[in-house]
Amino acid sequence: MITQGHEASGCIAELGPGVRGWSVGDRVIPAAGRPCLECRDCARGDFAHCLQVRIKAFAYDGAWAE
């Protein structure tokens, strides 16, 4: 069973060592999917045009999961 929640948002609570470009309290929206890393577009590094993108809350647990 996959937990729903494909539209997520939040605020950064803490940062790991060496993280730059982000601050605690920044509002964020995660990507709604993950590239497959196997198709021809992913193979050339064009992840935005993945032919088999895996959508959060459909292919894997979404934002309602712990």
Q: The domain that contains 16 carries what CATH number?
A: 3.90.180.10
| Chain Cα centroid distance, residue 46 | 16
Q: What is the pTM of this model?
A: 0.61
Q: What is the pLDDT along the chain (66 residues), one digit of tens a residue?
A: 889 988 889 999 999 999 999 999 999 998 888 999 999 999 999 999 999 999 988 888 988 887
pLDDT at position 7, please? 85
What are the backbone dihedrals phi and psi of residue 40, each rounded to the nearest 5 degrees, phi first?
-65, -35
> What domain count does the chain have?
1
Provide the domain limits for residue 9. Answer: 1-66
pLDDT of residue 50: 96
User: C-alpha distances in angstroms, 38 versus 10, 41, 44, 51, 61?
Assistant: 30, 8, 10, 9, 21
